[in-house]
Amino acid sequence: MTASRVTIGDVARHAEVSTSAVSKVLRNAYGVSPAMRTRVLAAIKELGYRPHGAARALRGHTSTLGVLLPDLRNPFFPDLIDGIAEELGDTCYQVVISQAGRDPAGESRAVHALIDQSVGGVVLVAPLSPPADLEVIAKAVPVVVLGRDDRSPHYDAVFGDEEVGAGLVVEHLAGLGHRRIAHLADAAWHGSGRGEPATPPDPRAHAYERAMARLGLGAYADIVRTSYTEEGGRAGVGELLRRPEPPTAVFAGADLVAIGALGALREAGLDVPGDVSVAGYDNSWLAGLAHISLTSVDQPGLTMGRTAARLLLERIGGRTASARISITPTLVTRRTTAAAPPPGHNPDAANFNVTEI
Amino acid sequence: MTASRVTIGDVARHAEVSTSAVSKVLRNAYGVSPAMRTRVLAAIKELGYRPHGAARALRGHTSTLGVLLPDLRNPFFPDLIDGIAEELGDTCYQVVISQAGRDPAGESRAVHALIDQSVGGVVLVAPLSPPADLEVIAKAVPVVVLGRDDRSPHYDAVFGDEEVGAGLVVEHLAGLGHRRIAHLADAAWHGSGRGEPATPPDPRAHAYERAMARLGLGAYADIVRTSYTEEGGRAGVGELLRRPEPPTAVFAGADLVAIGALGALREAGLDVPGDVSVAGYDNSWLAGLAHISLTSVDQPGLTMGRTAARLLLERIGGRTASARISITPTLVTRRTTAAAPPPGHNPDAANFNVTEI
DNA sequence: ATACCTACGGGTAACGTTCCACGATTTCCT
DNA sequence: AGGAAATCGTGGAACGTTACCCGTAGGTAT
pLDDT tens digits, one per residue of A296-314: 999 999 999 999 999 999 9
CB contact under 8 A, B259 and A110: no
Strand partners, A205: none
Q: Enumerate residues near strand C (beta carbon within 7 A).
A: A 4-5, 7-9, 19-20, 23-24, 26-27, 29, 49, 51-52, 55-56, 58-61; B 17-21, 31-33, 35-36, 55, 58-59
DSSP state of A248: S
Q: Where does residue B177 rank: exposed (0-12), middle (13-18), buried (19+ CB within 10 A)?
A: middle
CB contact under 8 A, A118 and B5: no
Q: Where does residue A165 rank: exposed (0-12), middle (13-18), buried (19+ CB within 10 A)?
A: buried
How far is it, in rounded angstroms, from Cα A275 to Cα A263? 14
E-state strands within B16-69: 64-69
Contacts of A346 (CB under 8 A, 6+ apart): none
Reported as a single tens digit per residue, the pLDDT across B218-241 is 999 999 999 999 999 999 999 999
Residue type, B225: R
Reported as a single tens digit per residue, the pLDDT across A119-155 is 999 999 999 999 999 999 999 999 999 999 999 999 9
Is B142 a residue whose pLDDT tops 60? yes
Average pLDDT over residues B302-314: 97
- B112 CA to D6 C1', in Å? 39
Residue A342 is predicted with a pLDDT of 86
Q: Do B150 and B137 form a contact (C-beta atoms < 8 A)?
A: no
Q: Do A117 and B96 form a contact (C-beta atoms < 8 A)?
A: yes
How does DSSP assign B234-261, residue by residue? HHHHHHHHTSSS--SEEEESSHHHHHHH
- B33 CA to D27 C1', in Å? 17
CB contact under 8 A, B58 and A53: no
Strand partners, B268: none
- B280 backbone dihedrals φ, ψ, rounded to 5°: -115, -165
How far is it, in rounded angstroms, from Cα A28 to Cα B10? 35
Is B354 a residue whose pLDDT tops 80? no
How far is it, in rounded angstroms, from Cα B65 to Cα B94? 6
Q: How confident is the model at residue B194 (pLDDT cuts 50, 70, 90)?
A: very low
The total of other beta-carbon atoms located within 10 Å of residue A197's CB is: 10
The total of other beta-carbon atoms located within 10 Å of residue A296's CB is: 31
Q: How confident is the model at residue B290 (pLDDT cuts 50, 70, 90)?
A: confident
- B23 backbone dihedrals φ, ψ, rounded to 5°: -60, -40
Average pLDDT over residues B311-325: 94
**Among A251-265, A339-353, B128-142, B332-346, whose mean pLDDT is lowest?**
A339-353
Q: Which domains does chain B have, with CATH numbers?
A: 8-51 (1.10.260.40), 64-160+301-326 (3.40.50.2300), 162-294+334-353 (3.40.50.2300)
**Angle at B299 (CA atoms; ends B298, B303), nearest 5 degrees:** 140
Contacts of A241 (CB under 8 A, 6+ apart): A264, A268
Question: A285 by DSSP, 3-state: which?
Answer: helix
Reported as a single tens digit per residue, the pLDDT across B35-84 is 999 999 999 999 999 999 999 999 999 999 999 999 999 999 999 999 99
Which of A1, A64, A291, A319 is the best residue to mutate to test the B interface, defined by the most B CB atoms within 10 Å of its own CB? A291
